[in-house]
Chains A and B, each alone.
Chain A
Amino acid sequence: MSKGSILIIDDEDIVRISCKRTLMPEGFEVKTAQNGVEGLKMIEEEKFDIVLTDLKMPDIDGIEVLRLIKQRWAETVVIIITGYQTVNSAVKAIKLGAYDYIEKPFTPDGIVSVVYRALEDRKK
């Protein structure tokens, strides 16, 4: 039994791989998508506990992905990954229902702790 299912949406290979290699050993079920469209398609097919999405992506950006997810699957936790953290986009993301945001470059401990925290809060 896995601790939870996580979808990682990021156009950067290395970010997806890093997240996967960090979170899988912790006992999470991790799937990845290269872009927003692919990610949303996967969410349609199966349910994820947590979605980690990049903010800046080529087709539809992280804010849009967040909005769409929150519209249909409100219980899914969305955590924003950003390489370009700004006050505006962070505030906007939190307002739209994002649980938190993590800044690139992040450490394995950083991302793991945010994920655990999110799951804890979700249980409450």
Chain B
Amino acid sequence: MNIKVKKTLHSLTGKLILSIGALMVAGSAIFWYFLINYQEKELIRNSTKYGHSFIDFMKKSTRYGMLTFQQPLIQQTVEAIGSAEGVISVRIFNPEGKIAYSSKKEEVGTVTKRIIPHTETGDQKNALKWSIDKDKEGYRRLNIVGTIYNEPACYTAYCHIHSKGQKALGHIESVISLSLLDKAITQQEIAITAYVIGFICLLSVILCIILWNFVSVPLSKLTHGMERVAAGELDYTVNIDTKDEIGELAKSFNAMTVDLSKAKEKIIEWGSTLEKKVQEKTEAIRKAQAQLVHSEKLASLGRMAAGVAHEINSPLTGIVTFAHLLQKKFDAGTQEREDIDVIIDQANRCSNIIKGLLGFARASAADKTAVNINDILNSLLNIVRNKADFFNVKIVPDYEEQLHYVKADTSQLQQVFLNMIMNAADAMDGKGTITINTKNITENGRDFIEIEFRDTGSGITDKNLEKIFEPFFTTKPVGKGTGLGLAVSHGIIQEHGGNIFVNTKPGKGTSFFIKLPANKEVL
């Protein structure tokens, strides 16, 4: 399975990672800013607090020297404290702004501008002031100033330098390096930044993997599946077996393709069955039409034959009459008498043919009553069995006992049945078995009776089968058959609302079926 997963920034994964990344960078930056800011403030607060303690410590350290007015001791203390690590300078100003003591000895006695101009309002409770600036190397320095207030010990000291009215006796100014802290803060900033960047990268990778596996790949599978289905491959299924929304989507998609392929199958099936049904109907219509044409052909042939027969009767009457008249004029045994006999014989043959032809006309004038076909067959068989033609023919009746009655003309049906039996005997050359079967059948909700005449004869060839019901068609020797038997039978059965049809296998025998509508009202 070759599934292409979109890898550009326009892909869902790309967009999600970009937006989440941007949000995280922004969030981290804000966090970072406030953290650093807070740390800075805290640092400065602590620094000034320590600065204040430092100034206090300075005051206490120099207090004894001040009270005893031991200036070298004070200078020594200031120098000692000023040499401590992180302390850049310590100065003690007198009220006039002159440097009284300094960690840098050379400064003592000079007037210099204080880094933070002190307020002369000595009653200020918290007169401590501070500022932050940067040294040459860029590290910050805390400049802190504390005021030395007058107190009883000062103005009662034996040196009497300070009067009671004085409020501020001087100032202590100290510059403390914050370089260590600055270094620590920078390191911390770098560490936090690195951490944030690392975190973002790691998170991006994890998100990328998660989105790739849970979103991009399944979505690509779905897209691929949709393309395949669109291309007509309806049995395609997407192989996603998760329980999340995409899994549900895939399930729905698979259900959809199954439905689609089922629908397609149904359409194809409908198409093919429709075709089959149309074919069946067409065949049925064609058969019905052929039957109709056939019946019409037989009917018109029958009408024509009857008309011809009628017309021929009169001239035939003349031939017969005059032949007989002539016959009487010649003695038996003469050539003339024999010739005239031939004329009479042939005229009689014509007469027989005509009688057969008139069977068509007779069919329409049938005298129909309710009859039992089994009875008609039985009385017919009694006559037939005694005929010489049937000495070697076995006739097997196989009747349904409760056979429906039929509304029919008995003599016409006898004519038809006799015809069937004679034909069967001829087909077997006078040797074999004729089975006569009767039964009740139901077709399309209508009741019929069916009579079958089955012989063990030679069968009928396909070529002849088309013509057997046509008048004058015969396979019997000239003079033996008129070719009218089946034509007349067909006409009679049709006139009775029935049907006659054949089932034959050349060499194996033939079955003639006669189907007649049952007349149940009689029962």
Contact = CB atoms under 8 A, between A and B. Distances in A.
Contacts of B347: 105
Nearest to A20: B321
B310 A108 contact: no
A19 B321 CA distance: 8
A38 interface: no
B322 interface: yes
B365 interface: yes
A87 B363 CA distance: 10
Interface stretch (A10-18, A45-53, A65-73, A113-121): A10-18
Contacts of B315: 14
Interface in B330-363: 347, 350-351, 354, 358, 361-362
Contact of A84 (B318, B325, B361): B361
Contacts of A18: 317-318, 320-322
Contacts of B7: none
A84 B314 contact: no
Contacts of A105: 313-314, 316-317, 319-320, 347, 350-351, 354
Interface in A1-54: 12, 14-15, 17-19, 21-22
Contact of A104 (B306, B316, B362): B316
Given A22-B325, A105-B347, A109-B324, A88 B318 contact: no
B351 to A, nearest CB: 5
Interface string A66-101: 000000000000000001111110000000000000
Interface residues of A, number: 21
Of A86, A107, A109, chain B has the most CB atoms within 10 Å of the CB of A107
Interface string B165-193: 00000000000000000000000000000
A107 B318 CA distance: 9
Contacts of A83: 310, 313-314
Nearest to A109: B324
A124 B167 CA distance: 197
**DSSP majority for the B interface?**
helix
Contacts of A84: 306, 310, 358, 361
Contacts of A104: 313-314, 316-317
B367 interface: yes
Nearest to B318: A14
Contacts, number: 62
Given A105-B320, A105-B347, A107-B320, A14 B314 contact: yes
A21 B313 contact: no
A22 B314 contact: no
Categorize the interface residue count of chain B.
20 to 34
A17 B362 contact: no
B324 A107 contact: yes
Contact of B318 (A15, A85, A87): A15
Nearest to A22: B321
B320 A21 contact: no
A84 B321 CA distance: 19
Nearest to A104: B313
B347 to A, nearest CB: 7
Given A14-B315, A105-B313, A87 B367 contact: yes
B310 A21 contact: no
A105 B310 CA distance: 10
Contacts of B324: 107-109
Nearest to A108: B324
B316 A86 contact: no
A87 B321 CA distance: 25
B361 A15 contact: no
A95 to B, nearest CB: 15
A33 to B, nearest CB: 16
Interface of B: 306, 310, 313-322, 324-325, 347, 350-351, 354, 358, 361-362, 365, 367
5 contacts: A14-B314, A104-B316, A105-B351, A106-B321, A109-B324
Given A18-B322, A21-B322, A86-B361, 10 more contacts: A15-B317, A15-B318, A17-B318, A18-B320, A21-B321, A22-B321, A22-B325, A106-B321, A107-B320, A108-B325
The 4 nearest A-B residue pairs measured at CB: A18-B321, A14-B318, A83-B313, A104-B313
